[in-house]
A and B are shown apart, each in its own frame.
Chain A
Amino acid sequence: QKEVEQNSGPLSVPEGAIASLNCTYSDRGSQSFFWYRQYSGKSPELIMFIYSNGDKEDGRFTAQLNKASQYVSLLIRDSQPSDSATYLCAVIPYNTDKLIFGTGTRLQVFP
């Protein structure tokens, strides 16, 4: 079982819709969870981080964490074509400080 799993996509959503990206992780003791956005040919950009169960909102982005079910999700409201990118979920498992990445989900927002 991979430590951090994401559906590779592509996830295609129309402009203005809500895009929902999901991630599961295997280490139940994980404490820190991150979402990075990576445009083709560019470096990862940290867009959200969440440490406690529940929702965290920042503009059009909402991160949701459910430690009991070991999943973290990212919702993008009012999706724009400029949101088209690969979204990497990353987790710091218990007793380590290494960032473990999922393989990323490619999001396509079409006009």
Chain B
Amino acid sequence: DTEVTQTPKHLVMGMTNKKSLKCEQHMGHRAMYWYKQKAKKPPELMFVYSYEKLSINESVPSRFSPECPNSSLLNLHLHALQPEDSALYLCASSQDRTSGRASSYEQYFGPGTRLTVT
């Protein structure tokens, strides 16, 4: 089973709203990722959690705030977003980032949340 789930599927929010995106996996993976993808572009890495600790923040603006409550869950809290933040937000997971085994880095993506900021 390589399923990563994300909710909601679609989200429309105003620039003053606060909302959260949720991601869940039950594969026992210990690394989880947030990506942003704009149309006709590859995914861009935003954050990486490894063993529930934030290990990479790709200089993402503070209006995006990640949270990893436990090894299966990953949230992305959104506040005061801009229209240019409209994109597909993807969650991914992989077994591990510390084992050194190549197979540990295989990342599986969830279906994404289509975010529109008005």
Chain A residues in contact with chain B, CB under 8 A? 31-32, 34, 36, 42-46, 49, 51, 88, 92, 97-99, 101-104
B-side contacts of A49, CB under 8 Å: 102-103, 106
Please tell me if the beta carbons of B43 and A44 are within 8 angstroms of each other in the complex.
yes
Q: Which of A31, A43, A51 touches B109 (beta carbons < 8 Å)? A: A43
Q: Does chain A have a CB within 8 A of B112?
A: yes
Contact flags (1/0) for B83-118 with A, using CB distance below 8 Å? 000001010000001000011011111111000000
Number of interface residues of B (CB under 8 A): 20
Where chain A touches its partner, the secondary structure class is: loop
Chain B residues at the A interface, C-beta cutoff of 8 Å:
2, 41-43, 45, 48, 56, 88, 90, 97, 102-103, 105-112
Closest to A32 in B: B102
Chain B residues whose CB sits within 8 angstroms of the CB of A36 once the complex forms? 109
Contact B109 A45 (CB under 8 A): yes
Q: Which residues of B contact A104 (CB under 8 A)?
A: 42
**In the assembled complex, how far is the CB of residue A88 from the closest CB belonging to chain B, in whole angstroms?**
6
Specify which chain B residues have a CB less than 8 angstroms from the CB of A97 in the assembled complex. 97, 105
Residue in B42, B43, B48, B102 whose Cβ sees the most chain A Cβ within 10 Å: B42
Known: A32-B102, A49-B106. A43 touches B45 (CB 8 A): no
